Amino acid sequence: MSEEQTIRISEIFGPTIQGEGAMIGRPTVFVRTGGCDYRCAWCDTAHAVDSEFRGEWKAMSTEEIWAQVQLLSGGKPLTVSLSGGNPAIQPFGALIALGKKEGYDFALETQGSIAQKWFAQLDVLTLSPKAPSSGETTDWRKVGHCIDAAKEGPDIAMKIVIFNDEDYLYARQAAERYPFLPLYLQPGNDINQPVSNDRMLWLTEKALNDKWFDITILPQLHVMLWGNKRGV
């Protein structure tokens, strides 16, 4: 099996529900890839990012991945969420084409650092540029390349994780830059602490006090239900 024919997989799991963003609450099978070009300070999927977990990742063919998706879904079409890490690193075009023939939808979330031609095959593309608290710097030119690559194919939305006032200002500036994209704000998740509504309340009150009404503020639903448990 050549490297060109494989995708690095951290885990495949579900059906569960999408816990955040534009697809929140949607029954989903997750295909989580291993590897990322970012190292966010607050990453909540280190097992799909850090090289110390590389031994857990498996090189799988399109056919092997698809067989697992069908097994988990019972052969009944649903949404397949391509996640990571940064799933945009991987060659997903063939998998998407295979699944769509069977009536499955495909959604991808990425920070917008790598554009792929197969973005145009998606049903939903969520761009999640990382705010300053992540320790990463956004290259908005590359985000634009991702939007261009999607063409007229998927619905495109933007989701930004907010931890503090600086992140909030970043999100306001992103909204001004891309006023045509629906924007979802998500309070940051402290993975080493109990789940708390404090940041959700702070973010909601701040946006409402600023009369910033053309956004959607959502929690991480899966964290509310299962905490930071892996594979749900």
3-state secondary structure string across the chain: CCHHHEEEEEEEEEEEECCCHHHCCCEEEEEEECCCCCCCCCCCCHHHCCHHHHHHCEEEEHHHHHHHHHHHHCCCCCEEEEECCCHHHCCCHHHHHHHHHCCCEEEEEECCCCCCHHHHHCCEEEECCCCHHHCCCCCHHHHHHHHHHHCCCCEEEEEEEECCHHHHHHHHHHHHHCCCCCEEEEECCCCCCCCCCHHHHHHHHHHHHCCCCCCEECCCHHHHHHCCCCCC
Mean pLDDT computed over 210-220 = 94
CATH number corresponding to 3-226: 3.20.20.70
Check residue 129 and give its pLDDT: 98
Residue 191: pLDDT over 80: no
pLDDT value at residue 3: 43
- Global pTM reads 0.91
Q: What is the pLDDT of residues 118-174, one digit of tens each?
A: 999 999 999 999 999 999 999 999 999 999 999 999 999 999 999 999 999 999 999
Lowest mean pLDDT among 168-177, 195-204, 216-225: 216-225
Judged against a pLDDT cut of 70, whether residue 193 lies above it is answered with: no
pLDDT in tens, 64-107: 999 999 999 999 999 999 999 999 999 999 999 999 999 999 99
Q: Specify the pLDDT at position 197.
A: 82
Mean pLDDT over 209-222 rounds to 91
Domain ranges of the chain: 3-226
> Quick one: average pLDDT of 23-41?
94
Mean pLDDT rounded to a whole number for the chain: 92
In this prediction, residue 230 has a pLDDT band, given cuts at 50, 70 and 90, of low
